[in-house]
């Protein structure tokens, strides 16, 4: 610790506690031998929070390759959301109610890319996570996320997009992607589909 000289010529610690003044040093709470600093515990090998740094690095990469800069406070919000997802209790749902344009889709891509690597490698973290379900409205986005997860490594697919007819999917320009073996092009609603 570096010390400096006070206006009265007495040595003090940079934070303002006097070095050679026993009256200050012996005040309860200033130097209590019974209170130990908190011990940092190593995270379990199965703890999904071990992915936190990798997700944020991948998130930075996605922003960088698209030449986008973070808005003020945006990275902190995305970091908090990442933490909430990675610390989610099994069997629960984690929703991220951000306004449009704050990076939900980019965050989902970063999370899925990192988790897909874990599932490809069949790590203890992947076993602890068990699986991930992402609900999106558009078929094209579901297919894009499936491709993202399955192209992290080519050994075996780890993601499968499951489609359900909805108003967006039943639009004439989206029907072919939904299911090529059904006559969905004429369907007006889900109950009209021969699926």
The verdict on 53 and 18 lying in the same domain is no
On whether the pTM is more than 0.75, the answer is: no
The verdict on 35 and 54 lying in the same domain is no
The verdict on 29 and 55 lying in the same domain is no
> Looking at residue 17, what is its pLDDT?
43
72/114 Cα distance (integer angstroms) = 25
The verdict on 53 and 124 lying in the same domain is yes
Name the band, by pLDDT with cuts 50, 70 and 90, for residue 48. very high
- Residues composing the chain: 195
The verdict on 126 and 170 lying in the same domain is no
102/70 Cα distance (integer angstroms) = 9
The verdict on 153 and 179 lying in the same domain is no
The verdict on 121 and 141 lying in the same domain is yes
> Looking at residue 81, what is its pLDDT?
94
CB proximity list for 89: less than 8 A, separation 6 or greater: none
For the chain, what is the domain count? 3
| Strand segments (E) across the chain | 3-5, 11-13
Chain centroid to CA 86: how far?
6
The verdict on 53 and 21 lying in the same domain is no
The verdict on 16 and 112 lying in the same domain is no
Query: What tens digit of pLDDT does each residue of 25-45 get?
Result: 555 555 555 666 677 778 788
166/137 Cα distance (integer angstroms) = 8
Containing domain of residue 19, as a range? 1-40
The verdict on 81 and 152 lying in the same domain is yes
Flag whether pLDDT at 183 surpasses 50.
Answer: no
The verdict on 16 and 32 lying in the same domain is yes
Query: What tens digit of pLDDT does each residue of 148-157 get?
Result: 999 866 677 8
The verdict on 157 and 183 lying in the same domain is no
**Where do we find the tokens 């933490």?**
83
């Amino acid at each position: 610790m570096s010390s400096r000289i006070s206006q009265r010529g007495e040595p003090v610690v940079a934070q303002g506690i006097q070095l050679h003044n026993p009256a200050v040093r012996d005040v309860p709470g200033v130097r209590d031998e019974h209170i130990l600093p908190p011990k940092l515990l190593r995270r379990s090998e199965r703890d999904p929070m071990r992915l936190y740094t990798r997700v944020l690095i991948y998130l930075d990469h996605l922003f960088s390759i698209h030449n986008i800069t973070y808005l003020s406070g945006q990275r902190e919000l995305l970091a908090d959301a990442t933490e909430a997802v990675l610390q989610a209790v099994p069997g629960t749902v984690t929703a991220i109610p951000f306004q449009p344009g704050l990076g939900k889709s980019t965050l989902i891509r970063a999370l899925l890319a990192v988790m897909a690597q874990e599932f490809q490698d069949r790590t203890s973290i992947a076993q602890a996570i068990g699986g991930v379900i992402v609900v999106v409205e558009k078929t094209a986005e579901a297919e894009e996320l499936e491709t993202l997860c399955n192209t992290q490594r080519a050994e075996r697919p780890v993601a499968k997009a499951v489609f359900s007819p909805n108003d967006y999917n039943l639009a004439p320009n989206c029907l072919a992607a939904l299911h090529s073996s059904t006559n969905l092009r004429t369907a007006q609603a889900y109950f009209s589909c021969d699926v």
